Amino acid sequence: MRGYINIPGSVNCNCCKICGARPIIVLIKDIGYVVKCPVDDNHYKTHAGLIDINDWNIHNTDCINHEEEKLIFSFH
Ligand SMILES: [Zn+2]
């Protein structure tokens, strides 16, 4: 059984460095919490256990805004 939690806006966390999505916290029964990208399981996710937003942030430092990037490239 699985459930997920949206991270409150007051929590300082980076967006996914691949797609720019805000991460979610997923509870996996008997294993623990994983902080992951809601878009794709192949994007970064933390190891199951305690909620580790710090680990997520370390691995997603180059946070991009995908919409803005698309606008920039559309000028070329
Ligand atoms: Zn992503």
Judged against a pLDDT cut of 70, whether residue 2 lies above it is answered with no
Q: How many CB atoms lie within 10 A of CB 17?
A: 15
Q: Are 44 and 34 in contact (CB under 8 A)?
A: no
Q: Which residue is listed with tokens 């509870």?
A: 27
Distance 60 CA to ligand 1 centre (A): 10
User: pLDDT tens, 5-58?
Assistant: 888 888 889 999 999 999 999 999 899 999 999 999 999 999 999 999 999 999
Range of the domain at 61: 2-74
Cα 3 to averaged position of ligand 1 atoms, centre (Å): 19
Q: How far apart are CA 11 and CA 42, in angstroms?
A: 24
Domain count, the chain: 1
Distance 32 CA to ligand 1 centre (A): 21
pLDDT at 9: 84
Q: Is the distance from CB of 13 to CB of 22 less than 8 angstroms? A: yes
pLDDT score of 68 more than 80: no
